[in-house]
Amino acid sequence: MKNISRHVGKLEILNRLPSSTNGNPRYLLRVAGFTCKTPVDSMYGYSVPNYNGKDVVATIGTHYGTATLASVQEA
């Protein structure tokens, strides 16, 4: 992952994306005005709904040209 940046703000789930090939959930998110996706086959597909509407500290990077969530924790 490249171009990792840190963002502090409210996490919003914009849309549920199609599940991965292995059946794991994926989401399209917005944190402090920055839009990103959860990684494929990642634990964040299961934990991100717990942070919906809460203030978080998130790191977002680019993975194959797509903004991807690298980490998230409650602020």
**Which pTM was predicted?**
0.88
What pLDDT is stored for residue 15 in this prediction? 96
Beta carbons of 45 and 38 less than 8 angstroms apart: yes
Mean of the pLDDT values across residues 44-72? 95
Convert the pLDDT of each residue in 31-56 to its tens digit: 999 999 999 999 999 999 999 999 99
Mean of the pLDDT values across residues 61-66? 95
Kindly tell me if the per-residue pLDDT of 1 is higher than 90: no
* Residue 65: Cβ within 10 Å count: 7
Q: Give the start-end residues of each E strand in 1-75.
A: 2-17, 26-31, 34-37, 55-63, 66-74
Task: Measure the CA dihedral 31/37/43/46, to 10°.
Answer: 70
**What CATH number has the domain spanning 2-74?**
2.40.50.140
Q: Where are the domains of the chain?
A: 2-74
* Residue 37: Cβ within 10 Å count: 20
* Residue 57: Cβ within 10 Å count: 16
